[in-house]
Structure 1
Amino acid sequence: MPSPEPFFKHINTQIVEWRRTFHRQPELGFMEYLTTFKIGKELESLGFSLHIGEDALMSTSRYGVPSQDELSKYERNISSSIPEEWMNKMRGGHTGLAAVWDTGQEGDHLAFRFDIDALPIEESESPAHYPYQQDFHSINKEVMHACGHDGHTAIGLGLAQYIANHSSELNGTFTFLFQPAEEGGRGAKAMVDKGWLKDVDYFYSGHIGINELKVGTVAASTKGFLASSKWNVSFKGKSSHAGMKPEDGRNALLAAASASTHLYSIPRHSEGVSRINVGKLTAGNGRNIISNQGYLEMETRGETKAINDYMQTEAKRIIQASASMYNVDVSIDFVGETEPMQCDQSLISVIKKACKSSRTIQQIIDAAHVSGSEDASFMMNAVQSHGGKATYMLFGTSLTDNHHSPSFDFEEGALLVALDTYIHIVKGGNSIE
């Protein structure tokens, strides 16, 4: 049963409304202009100190920023919805923001990461798909919140509202990082390099879903997130007539196709988990043309940095060999990465003790085992490097379909559980009731 406290009654409705608003208007990484503006206006009204654009992240540390043409086109499309002063700060893909609340009372510095970007997926319009059924499915063609970041953003705003409303009861400083471009491991390092985590004592982040757990279940830590690298690979050959002069052509399509299949032949590493995936392959000009272009989007992963480095070395070898075999040129653009990460085990008991009085949290498990990658790893490692502590939690929900699928959705009851977890952590175990 939810707490009868007025704040909780209000926020339960509000976080669902926020989640649906963000779900309806998803934006891709480094293009979250409207999302950033809406978050910022909420935080501004609460009295947070806001840092936007290049005040929030290090421009040169961003990975995989969309082309200037893509950014300019999207900026023009949405500029009428955002005040010029805000738009000017975010131009060129400088999305996301940092927000700080200082209680004025001596205490620890806590930081929280909430990712805000969506994915390039066309959302399902099946009547069985809850967001479509309830009319909050994506209005942006081929863009969808298919991983729960809309929920994470709503949770972050709920926590910010709690801190602002209860500041007199709290101690220390709270830093919120509403991070752009988590997908592809592209945005966290830019915020780390700006220095937001250099004096943080405790860092908390988390995710809705990933493992299918009952609503009310919280994993206080995770194990298994992998180091990863993200590449765009371009093959350039020479066009020619496929019938009259095939010998004059240099076939970039075959080079790209060869690389995409042979990459999967890399032997797996004996010392831990390793992964490789080609997620996109485009090539060709027409049926009677020797193709002069081929393009791959791919990634490597490894349980440790050494294993991921091994996967990268082998992948480069195969890509270059494929180019050589078809006498074409190849370039590899490094567009994202994540690091290995380990949660501080000492925070498990801290979270369990803090959340003991919660009415929404039914069970806290020590750790959830996962196998993806997270660029929150940069933030966790930065905090731990100077003696701070960090963890990454999971919040239970049933899943109608896999993450990153057109029918992905989660139970909205998970929002309140996640928010309650963060509130209890902030209060240090005191009841919210």
Structure 2
Amino acid sequence: MESVSNNLQQTLEAVFNHLHTHPEISWEEHDTTAYIKKLFEPYDCHITTFDDSPGLVIEIGHGKPVIGLRADIDALWQEVNGKFQANHSCGHDAHMTIVIGTLLTLLENGYPDQGTFRFIFQPAEEKGTGALAFVEKGIVDDVDFLYGMHLRPVEELGHEQFAPAIRHGAARFLKGTIRGDDAHGARPHLNANAIEIGAEFVQHLNNIHINPMVPHSAKMTAFQADGGSTNIIPGSATFSLDLRAQTNDAMRQLTEKIELIANMLADYHHVSIDLETGANIAAAVTNDEAIQVMTDAITTSAGENKLKNAITTTGGDDFHFYTIKRPHLKATMLAIGCDLTPGLHHPDMTFKREIIPQAVQVLATALTKTGKTYAQ
């Protein structure tokens, strides 16, 4: 695979700058979708958009194998310099740019005569619902290999280092509601104090024990019971729980124990406690063949000294729903080292942008290798 041309490198810089300065949150990525669509309208490729959803799919080539490359396109909503706004602090602006660059590279340098290359620009990764929605649209039903990517913090990979797989853990976000009666501050015997129930819930979370060899955590990340009056004992409250586990089975065990805690406290205090899943992200399911292709692509494009072992992280990504819902998929995610600091989701996250063309080369090589190796 030839190196990225100067013209393409300038294009990628312009694309990244636009995407970085025009972030859109989950399920609102309409301008982002229109921008990417406009970029490729002059080219000989098939573009699919959706009436009921942002995001798009761009396809070139024909026949088997069908090789997918996915970019997540949404931004986070967070406080930046005292103002709440959409913000690409998870690197999705870079992911989009890399996938755009990979497609432009194949269009510029050529690709195998046999094989379909499908570029998936997926919304709502941060909500954990975008991949599931695209699965339901049938976008990966005929895909044989599926690749993704993610920038990695400096603690995991150094600059210009790459790993052929990211073994994400599972993540689940629960919203809880305690419903009871308020009481006068002078009559605490007439109700169950929702704040005290919340404190008990936290204590029981800390007493959960599952296999300590499997990384996991369960913590309360929000609690609201303030009605504005200091002489009222609140009977109702809302709260949020953040669950993490390295395996899907460990996540199942955590969830079952938390449901038992909620039921026990509700029975004891004569209140109702309802739990609702806000987002649910599965742990990684990777494939040895896909990992080997990515390993070869890293050594070919970046050099053997830039290849590192697969990354294991408790962070999550909804990319893995594709393989869980469609088990025939052979999938892996490229881990990209770029001196990313201070960390993913930090409002001031930065990384070395010169990694973008290098990542383009690795993925373009992976796609062409897959097409040539598995052509039917």
State the TM-score bracket (shorter-chain normalisation): 0.7 to 0.9
Which of 328, 338, 348 lines up with 2:281 in the alignment?
A: 338
Equivalent positions of 1:399-410 (< 5 A) are: 399-410=340-351
Match of 1:242 in 2: 185
The letter for the 1-side match of 2:264 is A
Query: What's the offset of the Cα at 1:315?
Result: 0.9
CA gap 1:352/1:170 in 2 versus in 1, 3 angstroms: farther
CA contact under 8 A between 2:101 and 2:357: conserved in structure 1? no
* Amino acid of the structure 2 residue aligned with 1:116: I
Match of 1:306 in 2: 249
- TM-score, normalised with respect to structure 1: 0.76
Q: Distance in 2 between matches of 1:254 and 1:120?
A: 31
Superposed displacement of residue 357, structure 1: 4.4
1:49 lines up with 2:8 in the alignment: no
Q: State the alpha-carbon separation in 1 of the partners of residues 5 and 45 from structure 2.
A: 21
Which of the residues 11, 25, 35 maps onto 2:22? 25
Distance 1:293 1:21 in 2: 45
Alignment match, 2:71: 114
Question: Does residue 1:268 correspond to 2:265, yes or no?
Answer: no
Q: TM-score scaled to structure 2, two decimals?
A: 0.87
1:43-81: per-residue Cα shift (whole Å, max 9, x none)? 33434433333xxxxxxxxxxxxxxxxxxxxxxxxxxxx
Q: List gaps (5 residues or longer) in structure 1.
A: 54-88, 126-139
Q: CA deviation at 1:166?
A: 4.2
Partners of 1:365 and 1:324 lie apart in 2 by 51
Aligned residue among 94, 99, 118 for 2:58:
99
Query: Do structure 1's residue 200 and structure 2's residue 143 form an aligned pair?
Result: yes
The residue number in structure 2 matching 1:414 is 355
Which amino acid in the other structure matches residue 196 of structure 2? L
2-structure distance, mates of 1:31, 1:297: 24
Q: Is the 8 A contact 2:210 2:250 kept in 1?
A: no
Residue 36 (str. 1) matches residue 22 (str. 2): no
Task: Provide Cα deviations, 1:85-124, integer angstroms capped at 9, x if missing partner.
Answer: xxxx34xxx33222322x24x4421001111122232124
Bigger fraction of residues in strand: 2
Q: Deviations over 1:211-234 (max 9, x none)?
A: 5423221101233x2233221112
Cα separation, 1, equivalents of 2:14 and 2:303: 19
Listed one character per residue, the Cα deviations across residues 13-34 of structure 1 (whole Å, up to 9, x for unaligned) are 3223322322223222222232
Deviation, 1:255, is: 2.7
- Aligned-pair CA distance for 1:295: 1.6
1:382-428 superposed Cα distances (whole Å, 9 cap, x missing partner): 45x22x42111101111221212222221112212211111111232
Alignment partners' CA distance in 1, 2:150 and 2:180: 43
- Unaligned regions of 5+ residues in structure 2, if any? 372-376
**Shift of the alpha carbon at 1:355?**
4.5
Higher relative contact order structure (alpha carbons within 8 Å, sequence separation ≥ 6):
2
1:262 deviates by: 2.9
Query: CA offsets per residue over residues 337-385 of structure 1, 9 Å max, x none?
Result: 22232322233442343444436886122422322222111113445x2
How much has 1:208 moved relative to structure 2?
Answer: 0.7
Number of aligned residue pairs: give it.
369
Counterparts of 2:9 and 2:89 in 1: how far apart (Å)? Answer: 22
